[in-house]
């Protein structure tokens, strides 16, 4: 596949891919473009940080606030979870009613002896998968 | 002063999370509690069709509907124990099992489906534990298979 970059300050910015069929590369390009166009503003103490969705492991409701959990830090978000669900890239999937997970940042799924499925993220955070969302997660991961 | 503040914060956090689980318990109970009387109605319909002169008084039906609704409410809500992070696995399993056991035994005794006799209670307990174990094993194995498949896709 050839790569061509055209710098044009006048036109609308867009990425066009000509491919024979969809594959891992087109999926990755799609994910990167979607992530770049949906940057979020994260708030921590007195600082405001521009967050790239690819760096977010999961977005959870904690103590009635929405937090984006990244590698070693968490940022408060001002949007509602349902609006984030609509705007975030496809790699984000709802795992329970108060958490959106980035499939690219999942480390592994674990079955607990209490009969629940849990996800361990690469940053060490663990959250449970509700049975209602299991089907959606399977579909998102191509099962 | 700092210690007192920290304790206050901890207590506030614990109360908040417990309120969250209580709300979740009530939410699940309200969502699925209504299925209990539906199942009861089906069972009574089958009994009426198979047993001659099967009849119940209005009061017996009322007690059965209310108690089975509460049983289904508790059964649906009890699944929240599995999600309380501060509970260890044995603790959450024990809470789930004991709450279901108390709910089932109370419901069966109130409706006189089993007599108030130690021998019957022991048999009921053994059957209850067997069914609980079978259901738990089925859920655990199916989740284990699902997690294996999901891990292969990560």
Q: Which residue of A has its CA nearest to B149?
A: A143
Report which of A27, A74, A80, A35 is spatially closest to residue A54, judged by C-alpha positions. A35
Residue corresponding to tokens 């209504």: B34
pLDDT tens string, chain A, 143 residues long: the values are 788 888 888 888 788 889 898 888 888 888 777 767 777 899 998 889 989 888 999 999 988 899 999 998 999 999 888 888 888 888 899 998 889 999 999 999 998 776 788 999 999 999 989 888 888 899 888 88
Q: Which helix (H) or strand (E) holds A19?
A: none
| CB-count exposure of residue A75 (10 Å: 0-12, 13-18, 19+) | buried
| CB-count exposure of residue B20 (10 Å: 0-12, 13-18, 19+) | middle
Q: Classify domain A24-140 at the CATH superfamily level.
A: LytTr DNA-binding domain (2.40.50.1020)
pLDDT at B90: 79
pLDDT at A23: 87
User: Count of A–B CB contacts within 8 Å?
Assistant: 53
The nearest CA of chain B is from the CA of A14 a distance in Å of 29
The nearest CA of chain A is from the CA of B17 a distance in Å of 8
Contact B154 A116 (CB under 8 A): no
In this prediction, residue B18 has a pLDDT band, given cuts at 50, 70 and 90, of: low
Q: Which residue of B has its CA nearest to A109?
A: B147
Are B47 and B54 within 8 A, CB to CB? yes
Is residue B31 within 8 angstroms of chain A, CB to CB? Answer: no
Provide φ and ψ at A132, rounded to 5°. Answer: -65, -30
Contact B143 A111 (CB under 8 A): yes
Written as six digits, the tokens of A142 are 């191509």
Highest mean pLDDT among A6-20, B67-81, B113-127: B113-127
Chain B residues close to A102, C-beta within 8 Å = none
**Least-confidence region, from A78-87, B5-14, B129-138:** B5-14
Helix orientation angle between B58-77 and B2-32, rounded to the nearest 10 degrees: 130
In this prediction, residue B154 has a pLDDT band, given cuts at 50, 70 and 90, of: confident
Of the partner residues A114, A128, A143, the one whose CB lies closest to the CB of residue B89: A114
Q: How much is the average pLDDT of B99-107?
A: 95
Q: How much is the average pLDDT of B107-118?
A: 93
pLDDT at B88: 76
* CB proximity list for B26: less than 8 A, separation 6 or greater: B77
Is residue B146 within 8 angstroms of chain A, CB to CB? Answer: yes
Contact B150 A115 (CB under 8 A): no
pLDDT at B86: 72
* CB proximity list for B87: less than 8 A, separation 6 or greater: B81, B95
Q: Which residue has the higher pLDDT, A37 or B108?
A: B108
Q: How much is the average pLDDT of B108-136?
A: 94
- pTM confidence score: 0.63
Q: Which residue of A has its CA nearest to B94?
A: A114
Are A107 and A121 within 8 A, CB to CB? yes
Largest CA distance in chain B: 75
Domain coordinates in residue numbering, chain A? 24-140
Report which of B24, B137, B132 is spatially closest to residue B78, judged by C-alpha positions. B24
Q: Using one digit for the tens of pLDDT, what is the confidence trace for B36-59?
A: 999 999 999 999 889 888 888 999
pLDDT at B5: 61
In this prediction, residue B93 has a pLDDT band, given cuts at 50, 70 and 90, of: confident
Indicate if ipTM > 0.90: no
Domain coordinates in residue numbering, chain B? 2-84
Contact A138 B147 (CB under 8 A): no
């Amino acid at each position: 596949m050839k790569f061509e970059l055209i710098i044009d300050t006048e036109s609308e910015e867009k990425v066009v891919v000509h491919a024979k069929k969809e594959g891992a590369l087109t999926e990755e390009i799609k994910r990167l473009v979607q992530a770049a166009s949906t940057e979020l503003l994260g708030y921590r103490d007195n600082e405001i940080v521009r967050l790239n969705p690819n760096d977010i492991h999961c977005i959870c409701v904690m103590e009635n606030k929405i937090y984006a959990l990244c590698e070693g830090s968490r940022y408060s978000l001002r949007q509602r979870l349902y609006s984030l669900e609509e705007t975030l890239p496809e790699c984000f999937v709802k795992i329970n009613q108060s958490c959106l997970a980035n499939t690219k940042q999942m480390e592994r799924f674990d079955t607990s002896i209490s009969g629940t499925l849990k996800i361990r993220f690469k940053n060490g955070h663990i959250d449970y998968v509700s049975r209602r969302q299991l089907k959606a997660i399977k579909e998102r991961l191509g099962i | 002063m700092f210690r007192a503040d920290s304790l206050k914060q901890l207590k506030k956090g614990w109360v908040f999370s417990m309120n969250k689980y209580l709300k979740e318990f009530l939410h699940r109970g309200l969502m699925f509690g209504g299925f209990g009387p539906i199942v009861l109605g089906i069972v009574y319909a089958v009994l009426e069709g198979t047993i001659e002169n099967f009849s119940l008084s209005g009061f017996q039906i009322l007690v059965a509907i209310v108690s089975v609704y509460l049983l289904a409410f508790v059964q649906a809500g009890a699944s929240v124990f599995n999600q309380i992070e501060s509970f260890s696995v044995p603790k959450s399993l024990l809470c789930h099992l004991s709450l279901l056991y108390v709910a089932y035994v109370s419901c069966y005794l109130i409706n006189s489906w089993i007599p108030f006799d130690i021998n019957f209670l022991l048999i009921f307990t053994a059957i209850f534990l067997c069914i609980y174990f079978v259901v738990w094993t089925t859920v655990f194995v199916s989740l284990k298979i699902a997690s294996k498949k999901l891990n292969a896709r990560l």
